[in-house]
Chains A and B, each alone.
Chain A
Amino acid sequence: MSTDTLTTQKAFLKYLLRLADDRLILGQRVSEWCGHGPVLEEDLALANIALDLIGHSSALYAYAAQIEDKGHDDDYFAYFRDDYEFTNLQLCELPKGDFGFTIARHFLFSSFSYYQYELLKNAKDEQFRGMINKHLKEIKYHLRHSRDWVLRLGDGTEESHERIQNAFDEVWMYVDELFYTDDVDEIMIASGNGADVNSFKDDWKKFVEDTLTEATLTIPDWDQYMISGSRNGMHTEHLGLILTQLQFLRRSHPEADWK
């Protein structure tokens, strides 16, 4: 007898945590730009994007806590889990790099999120659906922002072209994981609350290729070595350092109220 049968409830919890972890960790990364942007308008835009991402993660964690039903809250998942318990994509935890890297990563993540949320917006679960529809509006803005910058940097100066090309080359081996699926996805799709990511994989690839082509960039090799394992707790060493910063104060005074 299997002791770890994946119930619908557990699958939902894991699914929410995967979505939330991506957004918390990426939001934490993007927030590092605050006060250090290349131009004042980008300080505002990047802070706004970080706010959205962390706000989305907080809503998803709160719902995860509700589904889990163990008396936890949103902060519990963000502050009291260790590296190997986080299931965010490695793509989201990579250092912010230069502005080009931040943009390349964000373009790939937000375009994927857009397609994914377009499916999730019809989820059966009312509370989940409401959240997704609200967040989708903001994801559209993130996508427009990052796509505009891919075009500007790709077709800007020689230096910007080279930098954004390098960023895409560097980040490419982390994209295959966007389409990772397992029994969590199967159960969620079967229950009407999951997105079948493989159903839009070709459309997403075409969208990415068209944007890179318009930006005069070379499309990196889709068949190169791709990393895997994030959804089951495999991470780069960067995640531990992010959590060190994120969790330190809360964990130093676990009895204190900080809400």
Chain B
Amino acid sequence: METQQQLDNFQARIDAGEKIEPKDWMPDRYRQQIIRMGSQHAHSEIVGMLPEGNWIGRAPSLKRKLVLLAKVQDEAGHGLYLYSAIETLGVSRADLIDQYLYGSAKYSSIFNYPTLSYADVCVIGWLVDGAAIVNQTKLAQSSYGPYSRANIRICREESFHKKQGYEMVAKLASGTPAQRKMVQDAVNRFWWPTLMMFGPSDSDSPNSAELIKWKVKLNTNDELRQHFIDRTVMEAEAVNITLPDPDLKFNQETGHWDYGDIPWDEFWDVVQGNGVMNRERMKARREAHENGAWVRKAAQAYARKKKLSREQAS
């Protein structure tokens, strides 16, 4: 049973900017929130390998193939750091994976959109990784130590991905008519889903207040979304890309860009499993997991045998 004194002490540590470490006392609800958020983040990295992985085989130059492979490999690495960070709270990676493959755990809906052209992976690098950095830079300051440190590492790699994506977007945008068409089409399809990555508006985000109180999150979804839009509008202009929102207007009073209505119906639809690629993504991940079961079993059996023979020898 958590006492008020424990909760007050915990809040005082948070307010003083201290990091919470695995063996420290923490409210059960805090533990649950970190597990929920962190594992959702980890699952997203793993599912996120699929849309970009779709273009590794078709990348248009050896250099671009290497860049893309390295990027997708980084996402697997991020998944690994995050699972390890969350495992410090006493849950196993195997259980977390079961919860998203067969249970109700979620991953970011952005990965339920298909990558229809090579320009899509460039735009994902620019917009999706760009949005992820805005989120993760803040999460790198979050109160739970292991999660915060995992995000610091992730951010370094994500900024590199974003630069590569933006560089390629700029190249396509100043390329042949076919390349320009390809990249504008990709931006048109990914713009709104990217804005949705920050989550529902603050008024519709049930977990936000609690997460902010505990400094798991430091900003509201809307604040982060605005920050991303302000930055991206200028980047788009610099490379002659049109963002598909006729209502984008600079607001002199607020100093921010005003934007049009986000299609939240689509967001909730995709969250509930009804996007173009939702079923495909889950199917691909389940198949990988199930087809790999015999490999994992063999590795365990072999390790047991080796341990036994070492024990018998000593």
The finding on whether chains A and B are genuine partners in a shared complex, rather than unrelated, reads: yes
A contacts, CB < 8 Å to B: 24, 28, 31-32, 34-44, 47-48, 50-51, 54-55, 57-58, 61, 74-75, 78-79, 98-99, 151-153, 155-157, 159-160, 163, 245-246, 248-250, 253, 255-259
Which residues from B are CB-within-8-Å of A57? 62
Q: Is the CB of B301 within 8 A of A250?
A: no
25 contacts between A and B (CB under 8 A): A31-B69, A34-B53, A35-B46, A35-B49, A38-B296, A40-B46, A40-B80, A44-B77, A48-B73, A54-B69, A152-B298, A152-B302, A157-B297, A159-B297, A159-B298, A246-B58, A249-B59, A249-B118, A250-B60, A250-B61, A255-B176, A257-B171, A257-B175, A258-B64, A259-B64
Identity of the chain B residue whose Cβ is nearest the Cβ of A38 in the assembled complex: B292
Flag the segment in B9-17, B260-268, B283-291 that touches A.
B283-291
Q: Is the CB of A155 within 8 A of B305?
A: yes
Q: Is the CB of A37 within 8 A of B292?
A: yes
The reply to whether the CB of B313 lies closer than 8 angstroms to some CB of chain A is: no
Which residues from A are CB-within-8-Å of B298? 152-153, 156-157, 159-160
Cβ < 8 Å to A, chain B residues 116-159: 118
A-contact 0/1 string along B23-61, CB 8 Å cutoff: 000000000000000000000001001100100111111
Q: Is the CB of B57 within 8 A of A28?
A: yes
Which 4 A/B pairs are nearest by Cβ-Cβ distance?
Answer: A38-B292, A156-B298, A160-B298, A35-B49
Q: Is the CB of A35 within 8 A of B288?
A: yes
Which residues from B are CB-within-8-Å of A44? 73, 76-77, 80
The reply to whether the CB of B106 lies closer than 8 angstroms to some CB of chain A is: no
Identity of the chain B residue whose Cβ is nearest the Cβ of A153 in the assembled complex: B298
Which residues from B are CB-within-8-Å of A55? 66
Q: Is the CB of A249 within 8 A of B58?
A: yes
Given contacts A35-B49, A163-B294, A257-B175, contact A50 B61 (CB under 8 A): no
The reply to whether the CB of B211 lies closer than 8 angstroms to some CB of chain A is: no
Which residues from A are CB-within-8-Å of B80? 40-41, 44
Shortest CB-to-CB span from A203 to chain B, Å, is 27
Shortest CB-to-CB span from A258 to chain B, Å, is 4
Q: Is the CB of A258 within 8 A of B288?
A: no
Which residues from A are CB-within-8-Å of B171? 257
C-alpha gap A5/B188 in the complex (Å): 57
User: Which of A40, A58, A152 meets B299, CB within 8 Å?
Assistant: A152
The reply to whether the CB of B275 lies closer than 8 angstroms to some CB of chain A is: no
C-alpha gap A258/B76 in the complex (Å): 26
Which residues from B are CB-within-8-Å of A246? 57-58
Cβ < 8 Å to A, chain B residues 63-114: 63-66, 69-70, 72-73, 76-77, 79-80, 83, 93
Which residues from B are CB-within-8-Å of A152? 298-299, 302
C-alpha gap A255/B288 in the complex (Å): 38
C-alpha gap A75/B61 in the complex (Å): 6
Which residues from A are CB-within-8-Å of B76? 35, 40, 43-44, 47
Q: Is the CB of B176 within 8 A of A34?
A: no
Which residues from B are CB-within-8-Å of A38? 288, 291-293, 295-296
Shortest CB-to-CB span from A70 to chain B, Å, is 18
Which residues from A are CB-within-8-Å of B61? 75, 79, 250, 258-259
Shortest CB-to-CB span from A135 to chain B, Å, is 14
